[in-house]
């Protein structure tokens, strides 16, 4: 068989974002719906601006996870934006929430922090930034529902210890450093057990006033 004939006989490989993104779904679950191990989060349907910033943070060393850093190191900003737009466009149903964990008292404490915050410690309500329905705010604030408890624990802990960072002013670092370890446990117990609302999509209207300046969030920067 000649070289040209062999080339013609070679099977064609689909060249689409869905095909390319199989490298992501190996960990993040089919179509980015989240893995079962409770560590890798859902990325399908997250706001595109948020996804782009996290990809850039991994690539540029503000978030630390060697596998993500190595995968993203050679990719340009433009391609990261394509990846973010692809996963943001996926409108897929969410699974049921995790069964409640922790004590009723711990979950009640978490609910208070999520919905009311703690003004005495300068901790705003999670809902004041992440939306009244806790499904996020487009284009750059993620939802807090539909995330595994272990992932929530890990990320809040990383913010608190400085292992996870964002563009200055780093509002989440400021908030997490004001949280006690038991606050983090209470927040993750309550959030992981909450069902998604009938409309699980990020809100399109930003809050009239953000409680803190926050880098990377339009309208919330100094």
Please report the sign of the dihedral spanned by the C-alpha atoms of residue 36, residue 39, residue 40, residue 42.
positive
Cβ–Cβ under 8 Å, residues 137 and 129: yes
Phi and psi torsions of 204, nearest 5°: -100, -15
Q: Is 28 annotated as a binding residue?
A: yes
Q: Is 17 annotated as a binding residue?
A: no
Q: Is 201 annotated as a binding residue?
A: no
Q: Is 171 annotated as a binding residue?
A: no
The three-state secondary structure class of 177 is helix
Q: Is 167 annotated as a binding residue?
A: no
Q: Which one, of 54, 53, 49, lies nearest residue 28 by Cα?
A: 54
Q: Is 53 annotated as a binding residue?
A: no
Q: Which one, of 193, 204, 212, lies nearest residue 128 by Cα?
A: 212
Q: Is 130 annotated as a binding residue?
A: yes
Q: Is 129 annotated as a binding residue?
A: yes
DSSP character at residue 168: S
Bind-site residues for heme c: 24, 27-28, 68, 126, 129-130, 172
Bind-site residues: 24, 27-28, 68, 126, 129-130, 172
């Amino acid at each position: 068989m000649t070289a040209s004939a062999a080339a013609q006989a070679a099977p064609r490989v689909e060249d689409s974002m869905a095909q390319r993104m199989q490298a992501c779904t190996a960990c993040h679950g089919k179509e980015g719906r989240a893995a079962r191990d409770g560590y890798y989060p859902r990325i399908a349907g997250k706001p595109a601006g948020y996804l782009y910033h996290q990809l850039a943070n991994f690539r540029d060393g503000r978030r630390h996870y060697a596998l993500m850093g190595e995968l993203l190191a050679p990719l340009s900003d433009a391609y990261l934006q394509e990846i973010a737009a692809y996963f943001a466009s996926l409108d897929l149903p969410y699974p049921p929430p995790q069964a409640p964990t922790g004590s009723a008292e711990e979950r009640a404490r978490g609910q208070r922090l999520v919905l009311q915050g703690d003004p005495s410690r300068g901790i705003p309500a999670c809902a004041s930034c992440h939306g009244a329905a806790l499904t996020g705010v487009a284009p750059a604030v993620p939802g807090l529902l539909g995330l595994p408890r272990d992932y929530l624990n890990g990320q809040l802990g990383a913010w608190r210890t400085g292992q996870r960072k964002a563009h200055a002013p780093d509002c989440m670092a400021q908030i997490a450093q004001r949280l006690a370890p038991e606050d983090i446990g209470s927040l993750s117990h309550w959030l992981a057990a909450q069902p998604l609302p009938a409309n699980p999509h990020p809100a399109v209207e930003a809050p009239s006033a953000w409680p803190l300046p926050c880098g990377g969030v339009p309208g919330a920067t100094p």
